[in-house]
Structure 1
Amino acid sequence: MESDKQHTVNEPDIEYGVYSYADYLTWQFDEVVELIKGKIFKKAAAAPKRIHQKVSIKIASKLYTFLEGKKCQVYVAPFDVRFPKESKEDHKIHDVVQPDICVICDPEKLDDRGCIGAPDLIVEILSPGNSKTELKHKYELYETHGVREYWIIHPENQDLLIYTLVDGKYVPSCLLTSGDVVESVAVKGFKLDLEEFFGDIE
């Protein structure tokens, strides 16, 4: 049944409809939006907290330094990651997200608009307004589409949870915090000393 609500191309009706990447490209929102299973998820209109940005730039810089001269590349939001199913055509893609940080090791997945296909590593940094999306919807999306490793960082608690893809299903780590040294499975050789990393995060 069609809704009798009015909406324009630039301001879609968030409650109704299933949208594609082709629709997404036409929108003019003040805030960042993402598509998961064709449904719109709005991120907070305000800028992320300072602690979020500090964690983001610190881990991104460590990854960038480690990967310099290597095939894998690191990108930070805003950066569109599209997850195609049967087709890479814009109007047939219904999952488009902007992870805080992602690493892509297959250059064939990169184009001028971002990444099409699963990154090898995705890092999401939690904030009060996005925990539900990161922990539920994105978990399912990343697992289904084969993201090899998914890190969730909680800046206020100074901890890290890692999901590693094993036989198509995510296996969680224990909750990692200061005193732990973590090593990525997807980005071979990349290690993070959490005591050093969180040492100046406040």
Structure 2
Amino acid sequence: MELEDKNLVKEPFTEYGRYSYADYLTWEIDEMVELIKGKVFRRAAAAPRRKHQQITLRLGAALLHHLENKPCEAFIAPFDVRLPVQSKRNEDIFTVVQPDVCVVCDRSKLDEAGCLGAPDLIVEVLSPGNNKKELQYKYEVYEESGVQEYWIIFPSEETVMVNTLVKGKYVPSRLFTRGDMVKSHCVESFELDLEDFFEKITE
């Protein structure tokens, strides 16, 4: 599938080539970029908004606290997640993303570079201008790679959608909002009280 997005990086890249993780490691650029099926995407043109960062940090902290003394581990961006299709060689990996929050329970997937393989849980907090990337492109690669749960948080609306992998396909939840309790199916006993969670996020 040909990927087109206004956030597709054109410079310093000379063409819309199919770039690999091996290429990614050679780049000396100041901004955060991600690879999705060989195409290069900016994380954002500017730093994420304050509410985005508050949500990311608070959710990461909640998971960190919940996972203390448990085998799973939580990470927040920037943190490279490489999603190989067949070979795990750097030259053969064409998707490298930096989820806002992720949880990895299989510690054999962790190395000094980040995570090699699908995390159990990925959470993306939408930013203006990046919605298409999270809602379409990342949805597809996370589903194909076997990410068990993919949460999408809409900061402006203070809502959450949970996509759960069932027989290789995502089954979306209803839209959760304040007053709801969101429970994870893959992170044992983790739940998020959205009323309490968003109450602590300042405007």
Gaps of 5+ in 1: 1-9
CA distance in 2, matches of 1:100, 1:11: 25
CA–CA distance in structure 2, aligned partners of residues 45 and 173 of structure 1: 31
Q: Are 1:64 and 2:32 counterparts?
A: no
Q: Which residue number in structure 1 is paired with residue 78 of structure 2? A: 78
Pairwise CA RMSD: 1.0
Structure 1 residue 44 displacement after superposition: 1.5
Q: Partners in 1 of 2:19 and 2:88 — Cα distance?
A: 15
> What is the percent sequence identity of the aligned residues?
59
TM-score using structure 2 length: 0.92
Note the alpha carbon deviations across 1:10-41, whole angstroms, 9 max, x for none.
9222x421000000001122211100110111
Is 1:140 aligned to residue 140 of structure 2?
Answer: yes
What is the CA–CA distance in structure 1 between the aligned matches of 2:140 and 2:85, rounded to whole Å? 14
Structure 2: which amino acid aligns with 1:69? N
Could you tell me which residue of structure 2 aligns to residue 105 of structure 1? 105
Moved over 4 A (4+): none
Greater C-alpha radius of gyration: 1
| Separation of aligned partners in 1, 2:199 and 2:16 | 45
Distance 1:43 1:194 in 2: 26
Please give the alpha-carbon distance, in whole angstroms, between the structure 1 residues aligned to 2:141 and 2:16. 21
TM-score by length of 1: 0.93
Whole-Å separation in 1 of the counterparts to 2:75 and 2:185: 18
**Residue 115 of structure 2 corresponds to which residue in structure 1?**
115
Q: How far apart are residue 138 of structure 1 and its match? A: 0.1
Per-residue CA deviation, residues 71-119 of structure 1 (Å, 9 max, x unaligned), is 0000010000001111111011001000000000000000000000000
Distance 2:73 2:41 in 1: 27
What amino acid is aligned across from residue 184 of structure 1 in structure 2?
A: S
In structure 2, distance between residues paired with 1:23 and 1:148:
28
Q: Which amino acid aligns with 2:188?
A: K
Contact 1:82-1:95 within 8 A present in 2 as well: yes
**1:1-202 equivalence runs, <5 A:** 11-13=12-14, 15-201=15-201, 202=203
1:138-167 C-alpha deviation (Å, 9 max, x unpaired): 000000010000000011110000000000
